[in-house]
Chains A and B, each alone.
Chain A
Amino acid sequence: MINLPANPMLFANLLTEPVGVAHYVTVGAVLFVCGALCMATKRNALGVLMGIELVLNGANLNFIAFGSPYLRSDAHNLGLDGQLMALFVIVLAAAEAAVALAIALNFYNNHDSIDVDRAAQLRG
């Protein structure tokens, strides 16, 4: 059982002390959950795409946080690897968006709809 130390100063000194990896991971988690829910609940195919972008961004933010020397200075820091991985994620997200958008436009041209619920079959 992991338990948080019942430390009331944990949030009280947010303005006067440097933030850590955990705060960045929290923002990343919010982005991830919002993106995942977007993917699950949106009916517009482009809304699903936006959810994917949000998820990738949350992951990117985590990579940056784990590689930053200002947030965590011990030996387990990712260092520059975090930033390099984040660059790869950005490039792959661009590629993914291009292909997914092409598929969505193709679907729109053929079925005259962008509703993912009508995309049970993806014939070209």
Chain B
Amino acid sequence: MDAIYWPSFFFLLFGGLACAFAVAVLLSSNIVRMAFYLVLSLAATAGLMFLAGAEFVGAMQLMIYVGGTLVLLIFGVMLTSQERFVEMHTWAGDWVKGFLAGGALLFVLIYAAFSIPAWRGIERATVEAIPAQKSVTPIAMGLLGARTDAPDRSGYLLPFEIVSVHLLVVLVGAAYLARAKRSRESKIV
């Protein structure tokens, strides 16, 4: 019996947490608990990214996704959580149809993933021989259009600019959409 390979152990830990809390998000009918489970699931996913050697993306996942996007969602939950909307139960027929379709899809996906030999992992000695490499500088150079890791591949300067302008437009649009309308006749809430 070989010694435990600790990255695999942590993969099982984080992967199990991510899957378990994703299922908890699905099964819970309380919106506040769903938000909390979602935070935990996404944080466990960040752990998986660290394990796969993508430490910058994992850190961004924690900072932008968990720290930004989900806080925004939780604000939405707080703003709309009247008592009759906190617990909204799904109809039983929806559950049955959903689990049938989802179970079939999950089975096909996992079956397909494990039926490809090259996807089942590489030897332990090979993995341990891979030198640790920092990914932040190559990512930054890739976003600036000058790839240092694979010079034959194209850079991402144009998508980077498009996505930054897109983010600006979206935030302005969201602020415009969500503004308080005073001209509307007063609604008593």
Contacts and interface: CB of A to CB of B under 8 A. Distances in A.
Nearest to A11: B114
A120 to B, nearest CB: 17
Question: Is the contact region of chain A dominated by helix, strand, or loop, or is it mixed?
Answer: helix
Given A34-B22, A36-B102, A84-B142, A70 B163 contact: no
Interface residues of A, number: 85
Nearest to A91: B163
B103 to A, nearest CB: 8
Contacts, number: 290
Contact of A101 (B65, B72, B99, B101): B72
Interface string B96-122: 001101100110011111111011111
Contacts of A32: 109
B88 A115 contact: yes
A73 B69 contact: no
Contacts of A108: 79-80
Nearest to A21: B119
Interface string B44-56: 0100110011101
